Amino acid sequence: MVRAVVVCCEKIRDRICMGCARCFKALSLKAGKFGEFNDVQIVAWTSCGGCPGLVVPKMNNLNLVLKQIDVEYDVVFIASCIVKAVKTGNCKIDLEKLAKDIEDEVGKKVVIGTKPPEI
């Protein structure tokens, strides 16, 4: 089992994609990027921190909390809503740079995307 943290877009979460239901559906179907793993358990879900994106500082804070409660994780998913915000919105996040920055800072594998477009 892979334990995961999901980082979603603060502007889209609970405004356009209510309750991140599409990602949870993809998770249950092992669809999209979740399907690249045998089994995924979400241990934490957080937002990017809002524009211009404060993901790395938020990940550091999240790591502190997870250590306090003795929860480990293996991978960070940059949710499809962030990918969509970059491609169609005005989000200035460089996805590849963000993935590298997270990997460098927290030492975890980063996957860009979560759900397939049809969900």
Q: Which residue has the higher pLDDT, 42 or 90?
A: 42
For 83-118, write each residue's pLDDT tens digit.
Answer: 999 998 889 999 999 999 999 999 999 999 999 999
The predicted structure's pLDDT at residue 54: 87
Percent of the chain scored above 90 by pLDDT? Answer: 78
Domain layout of the chain by residue ranges: 2-112
Confidence of residue 76 (pLDDT cuts 50, 70, 90): very high
The whole-chain average pLDDT of the chain stands at 93
Contacts 24+ apart (CB under 8 A), 60-67: 60/105, 60/106, 62/5, 63/106
The residue-averaged pLDDT of 9-21 equals: 82
Name the CATH topology of 2-112.
Rossmann fold (3.40.50)
Q: Is the pLDDT of residue 16 over 80?
A: no
Neighbours of 12 (CB within 10 A): 20
The residue-averaged pLDDT of 17-40 equals: 93
Rg of the chain taking only CA atoms, in angstroms = 13
Q: Is the pLDDT of residue 18 over 80?
A: no
Percent of the chain scored above 70 by pLDDT? Answer: 100
The residue-averaged pLDDT of 35-62 equals: 92
Q: Is the pLDDT of residue 53 over 80?
A: no
